[in-house]
Amino acid sequence: MYRDLKWKIPLILAVVFGAVWLAYPLKEKISLGLDLQGGMHLLLEVKVEKAVEASLERLVDDIKRDISDDDLEVDRIKAIHDGQKINIRMVDTLDLPPVKKVLESYSFLSLSGEDSDGLGLVYQMSADQIKQIEENAVSQGLETIRNRVDQFGVSEPTIQAQGVRRILVQLPGVKDPERAINLIGKTARLEFKLLDEENSLQTALAGNVPEDSEILYQRVENKETGEVTKEPFLLKKRAVLTGETLTGAEIRFDTDFNEPYVALNFNSVGAMIFQQVTRENIKKRLAIVLDSNVYSAPVIQDEIPGGRAQITGRFTSEEARDLAIILRAGALPAPVVILENRTVGPSLGKDSIEKGITSIIYGGVLVVIFIALYYKLSGIIAVTALSLNIVLLAGALAYFGAALTLPGIAGIILTVGMAIDANVLVFERIREEIRIGKTVRAAIDAGFSKAFRTIVDANITTFIAAVVLFQFGTGPIKGFAITLCIGIAASMFTAVFVSRVIFDLTMNQRKLDKLSI
């Protein structure tokens, strides 16, 4: 028995000191949830219909390319967003059969109609394909927002789908709500578009915009007066390059004026396209467009190899940094709108913390008084194990970086109540063994060994329930489940292992004929 204590005591000391080291200082190591420290609560709706429209436009480009590769001649291919259809207008009926053959490769498109003159085809996107695009828009939006928030540096955010097309975002401790909203809500669709220099901007502004062109604006701020104006640009609708090929974005400062800009890096495909575009359009202007806003439109002076570009726009350092975060995290597949925006103040959290701590203290004191009066000296051993249980719980929460919430405090309070259960089972078993005439040492051995299986069974069933809550529950329920799981593991260690070591250590110090239990 003494040999076992030689490794058991150092193990207990190592675990306890490790928990203290992890938890100290407690205020810095354990972050508080939204309900305790305040922050932002956002409910977003993903405009999934925009994702369907964008997918339809990309599909039109793919069909154009396939038809062009087969040297077929068509008058036009146009997306019809009302009903998610594609209209193909032929030049000659001779090309009709081969065009139909090309469209057969798109299994989610079905021929829904033909023009009376035999030169027009209308294809319909299937309902299953539309549903899949909408579901992907929500799931991709969820992941993109999570990546942005992670890079923004918010501790323990809650980001989860709610319903079919909504996303719940809770950001504890956010001090600048407007900046957070801009970071989360920006679609961040990056496009490189050539200026339409063949047509007149003034004519387009008068209402005669060419079919393949569009008018977009650049926001220009006068730094001296603060006046903001919008400069119009006539651009080609088709983007020559998008942010989908982006591999990196970081803030840098130019050497002349020390102004921040965002440096971009493309993958091999993007680099090849960018080099080709700049080679074929020297002395033409290439606009950098983000969410339909022109940031800059420089003149291409020479071919640009290496897949590098930059976005300038008279940014502040914070604006450039946030833009780099957004671009690194990727574009949202569809715009999001804010349905609900609440700022939670910290006063409620302060009051909740105080009441939670008070309840833990009162509950702990009552348990200590009862156990000490009922089980006497053995009860003091159980109280010691209970104290270590709280220390281990704090260390584990700090190690896993868990955020403490109101349900988490409830989990701790429940753990305090449950932590003594294992000791009660052991003590009652020891009492039974003493009553049938066994010695103190034999009664202790039998009490721990015979109660062990019952303790394990009871804690495993509770642990499984807590794991299920964590797996399928939302933020507050997960907070409760985490503290409950950690509390169960800690109470198993303290009640079964630590309490036994204290009993064995006492028995080795002196021979007991009677146990205070």
Same domain? For 22 and 79 the reply is no
The reply to whether 340 falls in a domain is: no
Residues 496 and 440 in one domain: yes
Burial class (CB in 10 A: 0-12, 13-18, 19+), 123: buried
CATH of the domain at 386: 1.20.1640.10
What integer pLDDT is reported at residue 352 of this predicted model?
A: 67
Q: How many domains in the chain?
A: 3
Establish if 386 belongs to a structural domain.
Answer: yes
**Residue 41, both tokens:** 């609560």
Q: What is the pLDDT of residue 390?
A: 83
**Angle, vertex CA 309, rays to CA 200 and CA 284, nearest 5:** 25
pLDDT score at 480: 82
pLDDT above 70 coverage of the chain, percent: 93
Q: Which two tokens stand for residue 158?
A: 């809650």
In terms of domains, do 439 and 486 share one?
yes
Could you say which of 318, 333, 362 is where a domain stops? 318
H/E stretch holding 301: none
Q: What's the pLDDT tens digit per position in 360-389?
A: 788 778 878 888 888 888 888 888 888 888
Instruction: Determine the Cα–Cα distance for residues 156 and 177; give it in Å rounded to an integer.
Output: 16
pTM reported for the whole predicted model: 0.62
Domain region containing 232: 189-256+263-318
8 A C-beta contact, residue 262 and residue 323: yes
Let me know whether 196 and 60 are in one domain. Answer: no
Per-residue pLDDT band for 203 (boundaries 50, 70, 90) equals very high
Res 245 pLDDT > 90: no
User: Do 118 and 21 share a domain, yes or no?
Assistant: no
- Asked whether residue 6 is domain-assigned, the answer is yes
Tens-place pLDDT, residues 400-443:
777 777 777 778 777 777 777 888 888 888 888 888 888 888 88
pLDDT of residue 44: 92
Domain boundary among 108, 129, 150: 129
Query: Looking at residues 160-175, what average pLDDT do you find?
Result: 85
Closest alpha carbon to 490 in 381, 415, 398, 421: 415
- pLDDT value of residue 346: 61
Q: Are residues 309 and 354 in the same domain?
A: no
Angle between helices 406-419 and 346-400 (to 10 degrees): 60
Q: Which tens digits make up the pLDDT trace of 127-152?
A: 999 999 999 899 888 888 888 888 77
What is residue 271's three-state secondary structure?
helix
Among residues 90, 105, 129, the one where a domain terminates is 129
pLDDT at residue 414, as a whole number: 78
Q: Per DSSP, what are the bridge partners of residue 160?
A: 168
Q: What is the DSSP string of 421-460?
A: HHHHHHHHHHHHHHHTT--HHHHHHHHHHHHHHHHHHHHH
Same domain, 16 and 121: no
Spatial separation of the C-alpha atoms in residues 440 and 508, rounded to whole Å: 12
Per residue in 32-86, pLDDT (tens digit) is: 776 677 788 889 999 999 889 888 988 888 888 888 887 888 888 888 888 889 9
Q: Is residue 229 part of a domain?
A: yes
